[in-house]
Structure 1
């Protein structure tokens, strides 16, 4: 097998074949491949192999250049692996498509609240799709007619309407207490939180993660375990009643992790919040002086994730035509397992496409 930039792939781990780390790799000066000597092979092909780019920046012109160079180099390495390695399964992820959405959505989408008409970057997203289509086409020319091909996105994309300051809202609700008011924009870690009086706090991101300050679980917990469920439900109900900046109704989903997942590991949040069907992301910073921000609080970002993505499947052994509806990302794994001639585990979620 060959796995290129398939998360989580850092630190690299042994596989029956080769592996290249993806976007969570800190840098390529440390071990990011398996076997380790594959890194030297890549260096001979590409002088500066990048796993990702910094995309939340103002210098858009240079970002376009970096994205195209990174993508060209990725496909150069992928082509080399296809031609020189012995593989029965090959999978790669191109992070550039995600980054191009986040950095340039407002330049082509006239409905975006930050749309800039006549921008020199108006065609950047379309041009990148053309680049990807060309590069994928070149790879298809390398494989034989018996190869099964799948293209799948791990998430969709849509315009970001703004960011909602979850911790500032919790403070307004009396659920998060500060010993000293914040006078500038700070992360929660840098705020003077009075944990002895704080009921809940949140982390930002494409969705908000709300944590309750539970006695016996947190160092300075204040929520009695006997009141955990009632407190959690009270906060969930308050969040569901949040409206937009102009009083418009939001389609907000509040989930309890154990209701969404069959198994919760690590330190799951107590609540997961998808503001207005993900159109509004969660800002974890405080000190903005308002609850609603026109964009992301960690740098320029035009787009958010969406539930609907892309799913293309070709199997030369099957008569497949047309468009399939109501597919699920969970169908990807069992479809590939079946295509490899292996038995799909009975307890695996999702169904083979064919």
Structure 2
């Protein structure tokens, strides 16, 4: 069987401190790749979340250039136009497109940002954010029937992973992992591609569901939990799956293992919209009697200067004259008003009275170009150790729980990058300074394939 030239194994949310240090001795296949190649932390984009990070990695473009600022993006300047950012938002070639143009056959499995599927020189199976198996989720389209025959219960994600039903979540995570690696193995055997890329989503879902059970730093840590070892055991399971996949590859196959961001304990949440209400930026038509999600119909837009959104990070939107339908901030005052709001926000203390550690960025600071409708500010709370809560009507500005369901972990700014190329052996040294934008030009440079012009990243020296 011809062997692939390049395999990219994506591990969504894989935390470098666990793989490189804490559990390295328990992960023999990953450790062997590190020993025979090079590895290091990989600085993610801002925001460091699945959407847009995988598209940034595979295209070498930043979120502003892609016009993707999170899972949901404003389609226009109206107040209720949020839409899920799917693969159709990406208007530039990605790694598999460039390799296909160079004559490589490709197999792409469960990479976020690939639904709806587009034409490739080979096979593509969309994953996360695909609505269901009734939708077209493969290229070619007939491949979907074949995949259903391989798998009893087809999963695109872990259903309802923010839930208290931990045993069911754990079963679904393993099922999703086994399915993803099984699909990758079957495509390797059946299609014999030159290039395979797959992304395993289970690590992300597992850490969101179980981090407090293993980490005494977590404010809601569960001592002596029966789930204390599940994250460790799952990393070991993923390592075994990687070993099985690599056993189907040749000795000359180059292997990259990447994660889009890392993970850390969720230390708290800040009620961004409630703070905007209490400081007079956001005005509601009537006060909520209980915590609830902010609805555009609740807002008195003719008296509101700003509103926000919850999530792993915060998004701030400003109500500007002749830009939003009922904007009240004069365009001439916009920059000054935004800077004043950012300074006010960054001075917020935590519940202990000390600075909470808030950093707000404007899109123009972060991105080389700003496409689409970007937030007016992107807000990190304590470098993502805290998350943004969008609810209104809360009694406090601070919370230990997420407002969209149980959640133990938040993202961390650095993921990981491991690259082992038998044609150019590494010395096991750790890389420094690698960014998510560097992955594409680095991989292309190994095969003397010209990268698209004006990429944000650079080919890493080996």
- TM-score category, normalised to shorter length: over 0.9
SS, match of residue 317 in structure 1: coil
Q: How does 1:40-51 map to 2 (within 5 A)?
A: 40-51=145-156
Alignment partner of 1:2 is 2:107? yes
Do residues 336 (structure 1) and 443 (structure 2) align? yes
What count of residue pairs does the alignment treat as equivalent? 354
| Ranges of 4+ aligned residues in structure 1 off by more than 6 Å | none
Match of 2:10 in 1: none
Which runs of 5 or more structure 1 residues have no equivalent in the other structure? none
Contact 2:109 2:183 in 1 (8 A): no
Aligned to 1:100, the other structure's residue is in SS state helix
CA distance in 1, matches of 2:145, 2:348: 53
Give the conservation status (yes or no) of the 8 Å contact 1:178–1:191: no
How far, CA to CA, are the matches of 1:12 and 1:93 in structure 2?
15
Q: How many angstroms apart in 1 are the aligned matches of 2:241 and 2:209?
A: 21
- 1:228-243 alignment, distance < 5 Å: 228-243=334-349
Deviations 1:101-125 (A, max 9, x none): 1110000001111100111111110
| Counterpart contact for 1:236–1:254, Cα < 8 Å | yes
* Residue 100 (str. 1) matches residue 206 (str. 2): yes
CA contact (8 A) 2:180 2:198 kept: no
Superposed CA RMSD: 1.2
Matched, 1:350 2:350: no
The 5 A counterparts of 1:271-350 are: 271-321=377-427, 322-350=429-457
TM-score with structure 1 setting the length: 0.97
Q: Secondary structure of 1:145's partner? A: coil
| 8 Å Cα contact 2:363/2:374 also seen in 1 | yes
Indicate the residue corresponding to 2:55 in structure 1.
none
- The separation in 2 between residues aligned to 1:346 and 1:215, in whole angstroms, is 37
Q: Which residue of 1 aligns with 2:128?
A: 23
Matched residues in 1 for 2:422 and 2:458: separation? 20
Question: Residue in 1 aligned with 2:282?
Answer: 176
TM-score (norm 2): 0.75
On the 8 A contact 1:210/1:270 being kept in 2, the answer is yes
**Partner Cα separation in structure 1 for residue 433 and residue 365 of structure 2:** 22
1:137 maps to what in 2?
Answer: 243
More RCO (CA 8 Å, sep 6+): 2
Shift, 1:29, TM fit: 2.3
SS in structure 2 of the partner of residue 341 of structure 1 = coil
Structure whose residues are more often strand by fraction: 2
Find 1:36's aligned residue among 129, 136, 141.
141
Alignment match, 2:42 = none
**Post-superposition shift, 1:250?**
2.5
Q: Report the Cα offset of residue 244 of structure 1.
A: 0.9
2:305 is matched with which residue: 171, 195, 199?
Answer: 199
Q: What do residues 199-250 of structure 1 show as CA deviations (whole Å, max 9, x unaligned)?
A: 0000111111100000111111100001101100000000110111111223
Write out per-residue CA displacement over residues 2-44 of structure 1, whole angstroms, 9 at most, x where no aligned residue: 1111121111111111111121111122211111111111111
Report Cα offsets for 1:158-179 as digits up to 9, x if no partner.
0111111100000111110111
Name which of structure 1's ranges 22-31 and 144-153 shifts more when overlaid on structure 2: 22-31
Partner SS state of residue 226, structure 1: helix
From 140, 160, 182, the equivalent of 2:266 is 160
The 1-side partners of 2:319 and 2:126 are apart by 36
